């Protein structure tokens, strides 16, 4: 029976995502053997540039090295955070499975939103989170902070910050959920497109392997993230663009809420729509068009 090499970034978060995928694959396909590989990326190695510098160097700075290892045949399966994967598919690769998404929300560690007062400092460098923070808590100072999840919590303590905003999914996967003070309501504070979702990627030519990894696929996670990413593909994507998106499957179909917030928090533009759950891209495109009709481009231009 075949042995497959499954690879990810070297961060502890990436390793836990591989474990999550492997637990599922081993249960569904005990006849296959899976071995783990770690791929070091520029995003892992570079501790000096700001997230924005790295982002402008290309949205896939974290995912790129892992995708390259897949294309070079060093690994057979790549595991990514879907939100860190560029919306433009890398030729020769295909996302063959998106596992069930457990947690999409942002979380505040440290001081609760209500208790934050003007002058308090909160760690986050992502423009979407900076804008949402300023909008919710005028006068609160966003302090750029970067690195993996555990170092960000450490920086909060070391720099005497009142709090730090992180994805709840990452904190949960790392067993750090006790650090969470407050879950931010996704209807008021929409998270990053595809936040919390894992992408399981293979080479396009490996159709048999694609069928094997499809054992971890979840239709709801796929539909919601496809809608969120279709929206982002139109508005320009990546961690450096302040777009929040939150899709849910409801009785009437797939509902998508999107929000763009200027980094100073003064302007938020929201749009939503419901459409067919089996045509998620159409819902994403529809909501993107509504945001454009509301003049979102000017808001984006002034905030990035
Ligand atoms: N941008 C970094 C990043 N990429 C994926 C996660 C974890 C959440 C996820 O799995 O989507 C994080 C950390 C964060 O945003 O707090």
Residues with CB under 6 A from ligand 1: 81, 83-84, 149, 166-167, 169-170, 195-196, 239
Q: How far apart are CA 115 and CA 112, in angstroms?
A: 5
> Can you tell me whether residue 114 is helix, strand or coil?
helix
> Can you tell me whether residue 93 is helix, strand or coil?
strand
Provide the terminal-to-terminal Cα distance of the chain, rounded to the nearest Å: 51
- Closest Cα partner for 199 from 43, 46, 36, 89? 89
- Range 211-240 average pLDDT: 91
> Is 27's pLDDT higher than 50?
yes
pLDDT of residue 63: 82
pLDDT of residue 240: 64
> Is 298's pLDDT higher than 90?
no
Strands (E), the chain: 3-9, 33-39, 77-81, 93-97, 106-110, 121-123, 141-143, 163-167, 180-183, 198-203, 243-250, 253-261, 268-275
> Is 46's pLDDT higher than 70?
no
Residue-averaged pLDDT of the chain: 91
Q: How far apart are CA 167 and CA 302, in angstroms?
A: 26
Ligand 1 geometric centre to CA of 71 (Å) = 24
Is 84 in the active site? yes
> Is 56's pLDDT higher than 80?
no
CA-to-CA dists, residue 120 to 180, 191, 264, angstroms: 18, 22, 15
- Range 32-49 average pLDDT: 74
pLDDT for 80-119, tens place per residue? 999 999 999 999 999 999 999 999 999 999 999 999 999 9
Ligand 1 geometric centre to CA of 167 (Å) = 6
- Count CB neighbours of 214 within 10 A: 13
Q: How far apart are CA 129 and CA 233, in angstroms?
A: 19
Give Dmax over CA atoms of the chain in angstroms.
61
> Is 265's pLDDT higher than 80?
yes
Better pLDDT: 229 or 301: 229
Residues with Cβ within 8 Å of 154's Cβ and at least 6 positions away in sequence, in order, are none
Domains 3-99+198-217 and 106-183 share a fold: yes
> Is 121's pLDDT higher than 90?
yes
Least confident of 48-57, 86-95, 159-168: 48-57
CATH code of the domain made up of 106-183: 3.40.190.10
> Is 55's pLDDT higher than 90?
no
pLDDT band at 61 (very low <50, low <70, confident <90, very high): low
State both tokens at 263: 């980094």
Ligand 1 geometric centre to CA of 149 (Å) = 8
- Count CB neighbours of 26 within 10 A: 12
pLDDT for 168-220, tens place per residue? 999 999 999 999 999 999 999 999 999 999 999 999 999 999 999 999 999 99
Q: How far apart are CA 162 and CA 116, in angstroms?
A: 8
CA of 167, closest atom in ligand 1: 16
- Range 64-77 average pLDDT: 96
> Is 230's pLDDT higher than 60?
yes
Could you please state the CATH topology (level 3) that the domain comprising 230-303 is classified under.
Double Stranded RNA Binding Domain (3.30.160)
Considering 76, 84, 106, 206, which one is annotated as catalytic? 84
Please list the helix, strand and coil fractions of the chain in percent, rounded to the nearest 5, in that order: 40, 25, 35
- Closest Cα partner for 40 from 18, 20, 69? 69
> Is 45's pLDDT higher than 70?
no
Pocket test for ligand 1, best of 13, 82, 197, 228 (most atoms within 8 A of CB): 13
pLDDT band at 59 (very low <50, low <70, confident <90, very high): very low
Pocket test for ligand 1, best of 15, 81, 130, 196 (most atoms within 8 A of CB): 81
Q: In the beta sheet, which residues pair with residue 106?
A: 167
pLDDT of residue 297: 83
DSSP 8-state class, residue 140: P
Domain boundaries, the chain: 3-99+198-217, 106-183, 230-303
pLDDT of residue 9: 94
Q: How far apart are CA 60 and CA 201, in angstroms?
A: 14
In this prediction the pTM is: 0.92
State both tokens at 186: 């996704």
- Range 268-279 average pLDDT: 97
- Count CB neighbours of 118 within 10 A: 9
The C-alpha angle with vertex 71 and arms to 196 and 45, in degrees rounded to 5, equals 60
- Range 116-136 average pLDDT: 96
Phi and psi at residue 243, in whole multiples of 5°? -105, 130
Q: Write down the CATH superfamily of domain 3-99+198-217.
A: Periplasmic binding protein-like II (3.40.190.10)
């Amino acid at each position: 029976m075949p042995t497959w090499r499954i690879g990810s970034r070297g961060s502890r978060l990436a390793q836990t995502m591989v474990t999550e995928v492997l637990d599922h694959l081993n249960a569904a396909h005990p006849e296959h053997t899976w071995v783990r590989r770690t791929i070091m990326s520029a995003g892992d190695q570079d501790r000096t540039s700001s997230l924005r510098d790295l982002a402008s160097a290309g949205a896939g700075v974290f995912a790129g090295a892992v995708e390259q290892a897949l294309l070079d045949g060093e690994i057979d399966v790549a595991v990514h955070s879907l939100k860190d994967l560029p919306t433009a598919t890398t030729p020769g690769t295909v996302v063959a499975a998106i596992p069930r998404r457990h947690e999409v929300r942002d979380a505040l560690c440290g001081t609760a939103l209500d208790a934050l007062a003007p002058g308090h400092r909160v760690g986050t460098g992502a423009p979407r989170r900076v804008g949402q923070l300023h909008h919710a808590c005028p006068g609160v100072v966003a302090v750029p902070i970067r690195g993996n999840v555990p170092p960000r919590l450490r920086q909060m303590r070391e720099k005497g910050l009142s709090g730090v905003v992180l994805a709840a999914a990452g904190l949960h996967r790392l067993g750090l959920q006790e650090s969470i003070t407050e879950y931010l309501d996704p209807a008021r504070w929409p998270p990053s497109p595809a936040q919390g979702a894992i992408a399981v990627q293979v080479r396009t030519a490996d159709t048999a392997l694609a069928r094997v990894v499809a054992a971890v696929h979840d239709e709801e996670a796929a539909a919601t993230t496809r809608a969120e990413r279709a929206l982002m593909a139109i508005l320009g994507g990546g961690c450096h663009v302040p777009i929040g998106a939150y899709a849910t499957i409801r009785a009437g179909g797939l509902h998508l809420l999107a929000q763009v917030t200027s980094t100073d928090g003064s302007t938020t533009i929201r749009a939503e729509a419901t459409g067919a759950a089996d045509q998620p891209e159409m819902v994403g495109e529809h909501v993107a068009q509504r945001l454009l009709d509301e003049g979102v481009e000017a808001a984006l231009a002034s905030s990035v």
